[in-house]
Amino acid sequence: MSAFARRGKPTSSRPLAGKGGRVQVDFEQRFSKCRGRRSLGGLWRIAMPINMTRRAALIGLSTCVAVPARAQTNRTREGEFVTLDRPATFDISPNTGSLKESVQKGQQLVWHPKDKPNERRFQITNISVAFLREQTAGQVKMTFTGNFSSLGYLTSEDAKLNVIVRAKGGASLHSWSFEIPVKCADKDRPLTPLTHDVPSDVATNVFSNVSTVEIAEPAEANYPGVRVQRCS
């Protein structure tokens, strides 16, 4: 037996007649298989970056799609700004010699998102403004009362209001500003009367000449409104 035969028989060969009866081994088929394996490896190396690139693109796309939903969730969690639908104006009528009160005609204050006037967030009804003059000292006190209702929202910061006292011709005599919180449990809740001392130098003029009061939100151009959150 030759040295070549002792080293092991090739797994893929076929004997061919040769010169002198010698056996020739055909390695073409074995070589083709090896070459095929190298080709498959090359294809894998080419396909792998393509698949990874495609996968990265899909991940990026899904991230982009998820961002708006997450941003919307954050906006909901952080709340939104609402503004007063319109100011409320009240005529002031004498009750006694020392008391003047607003005339209720169904006026109400309603807050809603600026671009959603039909979606109310909270409101104040049964509003009353009064002027009480002390006979001895001549001091004048103003009071504000009303019933508060949360319409599924609470204020993250107190609602700001201005009460503007006007004379018969519309001239402003005095103004008073205050803030009011609104809670989820507020359902037609009567507000504890808020009071304000009119400065003594204008008290007599205010009490004698008041004709109407206007209740409005701050008139500053950069006033964003009241931040509210949905009740859980």
Q: Quick check: helix, strand or coil at residue 186?
A: coil
First-to-final CA distance of the chain: 93
Read off the pTM.
Answer: 0.66
Q: Which residues of the chain have pLDDT under 50?
A: 1-28, 30-40, 43-44, 46-47, 50, 56-76
Cβ contact 147:125 at 8 Å: yes
Cβ contact 88:108 at 8 Å: yes
What are the structure tokens assigned to 197, written together? 């001392």
The per-residue pLDDT for 205 is 96
Rounded-to-10 torsion of CA 68, 70, 73, 74: -100
The per-residue pLDDT for 148 is 95
Cβ contact 131:141 at 8 Å: yes
The per-residue pLDDT for 164 is 98
Alpha-carbon gap, residue 98 to 73, rounded angstroms: 54
